[in-house]
Amino acid sequence: MTGLSAQQPPLTTIPSDIRTLADYERLAQNHISPDAWRHIQAGAGGETSLGANRAQFDRFHLVPRMLSDMRGATTEVHLFGLRHAAPILLAPVAYHRLARPQGEVATISAATALDITMVASTLSSISLEDIAGAARAAAAELRRPAPPPLWFQLYFQPDRAYTLDLVRRAEIAGYQVLVFTVDASVKRSDFALPADVEAANLRGMPRLSQSANAAEGRIVFGTPLLDAAPTWDDLGWLRSVTQLPIVVKGLLSPDDAKLTMDHGADGIIVSNHGGRVMDGLIPPVDALPAMVEAVEDKIPLLLDSGVRHGTDVLKALALGARAVLVGRPQIHALAVAGIGGVAHMLQILRAELELAMAQTGCRSPDTITRHILRDRT
């Protein structure tokens, strides 16, 4: 069985009963191989974090505000000096070709049409250059001067020379923001990539495996993967080799937030990696208020894990996030209906956000504050 093999073909029209991101999730399983489906959906351990990531949003009720003048309202936000049409980004997700042969080219073309940034993963199944090219081509087709800002997610490689190579390639390809993911250096996964899907950015680079020293009785400690995992020194090094804004992804601790600022990073994504790396982690929404306090408005905080509704976006912003990212839904929509599916999924999310802002009298993202929330607990 390969990731690209005989599942139901993608839909060519979007049925009218697809109205929410949950509808895409429900249908996606029919359009993707069972192995890939399990890999994409899985949470770590007993999957309590996976569940908590959704439940965290349900803890809050929204208090609507009526009769506000919404003329001139906008969802636009500026991050690192770059305009983003909405406070919603597509999170870096590896190997989009597991869902459709066009992979990241399809996803970023759809995101560009909806004026949304897709963060390209180090583990993309299309090269970072081709992804940037696809975004530009989609923008040109839409007669736009440029695509939405290009963001590249960096996984440190065992050797700094290879990491630097990725950074330089991203700079040359025109990426404007670097996301340094720090929470997934070691994790358990028994998923084997199908033969026709590869980490296109890492061709020719050495790869470390967690099982490499299994014969010597090593499990995690003492394995090359853990020994090569990046540290705060590496963040300092990254800061010294690039002018691009650096956003550290995968933090939940206010102390780490402070260290991140000390090391010169420009932003943080408060995230538990969609509950994939370790079970029992604090959900990002619970972690957010202390993180907001720690950074004292000096750098923006973004949030992901479990965002599925426009009201989730509103709640995250009310708690102090400047934007959110969505992970799995992009793969669900890509599997179900290719480019059209991803565009429709983003359209749903943007429409839900605008509706939620209108109902709560919020004319722009920076007017969304805690006063619209009631904690039910």
Active-site residues, by number, are: 273
Q: What's the distance, Cα to Cα, between the start and end of the chain in Å?
A: 46
Distance of alpha carbon 19 from alpha carbon 200, whole angstroms: 34
3-state secondary structure at position 177:
strand
Minimum Å gap between C-beta 304 and ligand FNR is: 4
Q: Which is nearer to ligand FNR, 139 or 309 (CB)?
A: 309
The one-letter amino acid code at 224 reads: P
Minimum Å gap between C-beta 54 and ligand FNR is: 8
Torsion of CA 278, 283, 287, 292, to 10 degrees: 110
**Position of tokens 């090593």?**
218
Q: Which is nearer to ligand FNR, 130 or 304 (CB)?
A: 304
The one-letter amino acid code at 233 reads: D
Minimum Å gap between C-beta 269 and ligand FNR is: 7
Structure tokens at 7: 């599942």
Q: Which is nearer to ligand FNR, 305 or 360 (CB)?
A: 305
3-state secondary structure at position 117:
strand
Minimum Å gap between C-beta 215 and ligand FNR is: 28
Q: Give φ, ψ of 192 to 5 degrees.
A: -100, 125
Structure tokens at 320: 């102090």
3-state secondary structure at position 218:
coil
Q: Which is nearer to ligand FNR, 94 or 285 (CB)?
A: 94
Q: Which is nearer to ligand FNR, 137 or 184 (CB)?
A: 184
Residue number of the CB closest to ligand FNR reads 327
Minimum Å gap between C-beta 369 and ligand FNR is: 24
Contact assessment for residue 319 and residue 67, using Cβ atoms and an 8 Å cutoff: no
**Position of tokens 């399809």?**
106
- Positions touching ligand FNR (CB under 6 A) are 40, 53, 91-94, 121, 123, 153, 181, 249, 271, 273-274, 276, 304-307, 326-328
